[in-house]
Structure 1
């Protein structure tokens, strides 16, 4: 099973934001993505990072995936398939659509201390804005 680590960050809240996506293929072919997101909140960046990771799964036809996030907000929204905040609903709708298209995909919360690769990529992406 492919393992993907994601993180979103912003410099300010809102402010310049970035997504970090680390695809651990268990080999020398690991992928590192630092994607500038423009101006948004930290939580929006977290949702955007998950949406991008799921889009990568679809585009690359990765059907068995474990996605790790250090955002409890994102993890719980996906698990409940609901978010109270209107700002996050478009992200969540896209995420659920992409998630439903996967054969086997898990979203798992992990502590930020074990998500360093994605965290560094998200911070690097902010600097690209």
Structure 2
């Protein structure tokens, strides 16, 4: 029997309108982050996740307070187009799965999310699967 891989896992999350989202969960089951966008199918979702993992070093994360006065983070990928008006459509790709009581806890959540993406990138290279879905 093969040993189950330990480490963070990407989960597919069905949305109410027949689209798909994603969540990144740590090995202990704690959610590290969730996707902001939804996708029309597994192929579109896999492309977005592949881009997120490959471009993880370029992620820009912001930390702020929600209306409930909890600290939350949001992650953005840089815009990769020169199409006029595209910058207006740019938006976040991921966010914290929950709110935090303190700013330093929220920042630790950002680092946990980044570490999870790093682990997935290394696992993807180790397996040599060229970004095939599912991992």
Common fold by TM > 0.5 = no
Name the structure where helix makes up a greater proportion of residues: 1
TM-score band by shorter chain is: 0.3 to 0.5
Q: Which has the larger radius of gyration?
A: 2
Name the structure where strand makes up a greater proportion of residues: 1
TM-score (norm 2): 0.32
Higher relative contact order (CA 8 A, sep 6+): 1
